[in-house]
Structure 1
Amino acid sequence: MVVQCLILATVIAVVLAALVYRSKSLASVANSVSAIGLTIPSFALIGLLIAPVGFGVAPAVIVVSFFATLPILRNAIVGLNGIDPGVVESARGIGMSRFRAWATVELPLAWPVILAGVRVSAQMVMGIAAVAAYALGPGLGGFIFSGLSRLGGANALESVAVGVIGVIILALILDLILVGIGRLTTPRGIRV
């Protein structure tokens, strides 16, 4: 679920960043919304979504995608704003359309910064996905909530430990995969 929500969040964040990064006021609004959005407790948002959406996968996907989008959006705006205007002007000067210059010049140059946001987001939403089990969403959070509900009973602590350790291991594996994706997708000339 986390990987699917991360892909969805990346697409949403990059599209939103592409729409707002040229306008300082819109970029400021997007950054403010992402900062405010990160202050919303994930558990509370899941609870609020249960009434209109119900239990199951839907509220979990909405919450995880929402929280995943925010850091990626901030990094995408920073990455796109950090590109030298002369490079973009040169691309336009050789006849590239605005979209083609964005897709072939600006996006690849901003990609390392965007990917850093994806990595931060991935680590953050692993824990949020575990909390999403409260709404009967999929994931290792079921072990955590099951153990907490039986605290003091047989194997309660072990159930919580399985959930927590599983989330940590999956987060580390996902981060290693994202590092590999970064090496494969970042142009050789701009790798750090």
Structure 2
Amino acid sequence: MINDAIRHVDLTLAAVALAVIIGVALGIATYTRISLASLATTTTAAFLTIPSIALLGLLIGPFGLGTTPVVIALVVYALLPITRNTIVGLRSVDQSLIDAGRGMGLGRRRLLWRVRMPLAWPIILSGIRVSTQITVGIAAIGAYVKGPGLGNQIFDGLGRFGAANSMNQVLIGTIGIVIVALLFDLAYVLVGRLTTSRGIRG
């Protein structure tokens, strides 16, 4: 149980980290153009319509069983909130602040990292938070392709349905996933407080 919980956390962290790199980069690359931003959000939204078991099944062919197909699937599902919130956050920065930065001699790149990103960060973090909750839940389905995590408790229990303690095993896995999700959420609250200035929070 504890080992499965640790693997579930590790799997979630790996998938979310990759999704943040891809999603934020995609948001930065497209936020200035409405058509590209719309394409990015529409495409990542379309990924969420793919049933998780179907996607995992398709990934077995090129990547086999185990962690790799699960991580790829989780990254795909985690992209939408991060990409969308990055675009929304960067666009929501007050134009007067951008003009003030330009007046101070900041170029486009420095404006992005010194003005836009810090001000957009709370919105981006909110997207990361949502993506993490999605990832924690869907990661359980990874047991279908022999992936690590608490899903193995659930699938093993369902596989022995009717046997002694089978439902207890399912409940243990389910409750474990809920606890992991809550701990991640609390961690994001702390991260938000530590990384967001009081002026922005207020």
TM range (shorter): over 0.9
Residue 85 of structure 1 is matched in structure 2 by 95
Measure how far apart 1:87 and its partner are: 1.4
| Structure 1 unmatched runs, 5+ | none
The sequence identity of aligned pairs, in percent, is: 50
Q: TM-score, normalised by structure 2?
A: 0.92
Q: Does 1:13 align with 2:23?
A: yes
Measure how far apart 1:36 and its partner are: 1.3
How do 1:1-150 and structure 2 match up within 5 A? 1-150=11-160
Deviations along 1:11-40, whole A, 9 cap, x unmatched? Answer: 211111000000010011111112211111
**In the aligned structure 2, how far is the partner of 1:114 from the partner of 1:27?**
15
- In structure 1, give the amino acid aligned to 2:30: V
* Greater alpha carbon shift after TM alignment, 105-114 vs 77-86: 77-86
Query: How many pairs align?
Result: 192
- In structure 2, give the amino acid aligned to 1:171: A
Q: Is the 8 A contact 2:89 2:123 kept in 1?
A: yes
CA RMSD of aligned residues (A): 1.0
| Structure 2 unmatched runs, 5+ | 1-10
Q: Which has the higher contact order (CA 8 A, sep 6+)?
A: 2
Measure how far apart 1:89 and its partner are: 2.4
Q: Is the 8 A contact 2:44 2:76 kept in 1?
A: no
**In the aligned structure 1, how far is the partner of 2:14 from the partner of 2:59?**
19
Q: TM-score, normalised by structure 1?
A: 0.96
Measure how far apart 1:177 and its partner are: 0.2
Deviations along 1:39-79, whole A, 9 cap, x unmatched? Answer: 11111111110111000110011111111122111111111
Residue 165 of structure 1 is matched in structure 2 by 175
Measure how far apart 1:92 and its partner are: 2.1
* Greater alpha carbon shift after TM alignment, 51-60 vs 81-90: 81-90
